Amino acid sequence: MASSSNVNGNLVDELEEAFQSCIHALTKEESATGIDKDEIKLEVDQTTLKFIDLARQMEAFFLQKRFLLSALKPDLLLKEENFDLRQEIARKDELIRKHYEKIESWKNLLSDQQNYNKPMQAHPVPPEMRSMAGGAPGPG
């Protein structure tokens, strides 16, 4: 009877071989090998399906181990969740800080723009000069 680490080791090796086969099939050139496109496509499909199947087996293995760990040591699962939540809070705090920085820069930009426009509004252009400046003609 094979141990689980030996089975996992074989599965990892098989997954790596399947990945290498996929890469090899994808990088084959039609002209260099003398194989037509249909054969290359068939090989790519077969190697990809094998790789996906082995990846699913690997995922199932880790899910089984995760389930076993959560059943035997629930405190580890809580610690991991706690750690993940702390990381998420830190990430969101950083995002909020960046938003506040952007808000401040926009406030400063708007304040500068309002200060720039105030002198223009404090001394309005007389109607006679508007027509000279290319503005709308005054009454009269």
pLDDT digits (tens, 9 = 90+) for 24-39: 988 877 666 667 788 8
pLDDT digits (tens, 9 = 90+) for 39-79: 888 999 999 999 999 999 999 999 999 999 889 998 998 99
Q: What are the boundaries of each domain within the chain?
A: 1-72, 73-121
> How far apart are alpha carbons 30 and 36 in whole angstroms?
6
> How far apart are alpha carbons 79 and 91 in whole angstroms?
18
Confidence band, pLDDT 50/70/90 cuts, at residue 130: low
Cβ contact 126:120 at 8 Å: no
**Is 0.85 surpassed by the pTM of this model?**
no
- Is a pLDDT exceeding 90 seen at residue 127? no
Confidence band, pLDDT 50/70/90 cuts, at residue 112: confident
Residue 30: the pLDDT is 64
Residue 2: the pLDDT is 45
pLDDT digits (tens, 9 = 90+) for 10-21: 999 999 999 999
Nearest to 27 by CA among 42, 13, 40: 40
